Amino acid sequence: MATNTMQQVLSVPDAIESRHSIRKFVEDPIPKEDLNQIFELVRLAPSAWNLQPWRFHVVTDTNLKEKLKEASYGQQQVTSAPAVVLVISDMEDVLENLPKTVHPGLSPERQQEEVANLSSFFGSMSVEERGQWGLTQTNIALGVLLVTIQGLGYASVPMLGFDQEKVKNILGLDEHVKFAAMVPFGIADQEGYPHHRFEIEKIVKYH
């Protein structure tokens, strides 16, 4: 496990427990090394058939962040954060690269068979249907991202309160991509709200 350049690494329970949405950050830029460490971990998230439809656009440019804030109805956390990650799902890119997603440990025949099965399965769906399917997988990576950011000593806020068409234009994203979230993150400069959640009896049933 690599070490964080700035902060102590938290245990998984501590990262989950201490995570709160943070909307004010200190200005310090995030070292490239820490960004790399975050995405090295997040890319290990699981997905059905290991298709990994998630793609991450990391915005640190001040002008671009201003534009993203405007597209986010003026939400201040977008420019307060030193980095803003757009977590998107791109199933069309997945389908164009199917041979790369098949496990190299399989025989060439099995690999071809897998590619053919996946092509046929997703080929029978519309772009919109498979886009929505990909989003269910990409949300797994979003959860892993939030915990990873927290675990490495940073803080974040997941957001969907933005105009998706505007953000696609700002970043030059293809029309078919789906957004899991915009995630401003950095070192926290405020405390979040206390946790407010359903009781465990409401959400967990044992059978």
Phi-psi region of 147 (alpha: psi -120 to 50; beta: other; left: phi over 0): alpha
30: region left, alpha or beta (phi > 0 left; psi from -120 to 50 alpha): beta
157 binds ligand FMN (CB under 6 A): yes
Class of residue 153 by CB neighbours under 10 A (exposed 0-12, middle 13-18, buried 19+) = middle
Residue 136 sits in the site that holds ligand FMN (CB under 6 A): no
Region from 7-15, 18-26, 51-59, 100-108 binding ligand FMN, contact rule CB under 6 A: 18-26
Among 9, 16, 20, 153, binds ligand FMN (CB under 6 A): 20
3-state secondary structure 112-134: HHHHHHHHHHHHCCCHHHHHHHH
Region from 19-27, 79-87, 88-96, 107-115 binding ligand FMN, contact rule CB under 6 A? 19-27
From 46-54, 116-124, 128-136, 158-166, span contacting ligand FMN (CB under 6 A): 158-166
Size of the site for ligand FMN (CB under 6 A): 13
Binding span for ligand FMN by CB under 6 A among 1-9, 16-24, 36-44, 106-114: 16-24
User: Which residues, 6 or more positions from 66, have their beta carbon under 8 angstroms from its beta carbon?
Assistant: 79
Of positions 4, 37, 52, 75, contacts ligand FMN by CB under 6 A = 75
Report the amino acid identity of residue 14: D
Quote the least distance from Cβ 143 to ligand FMN, whole Å: 9
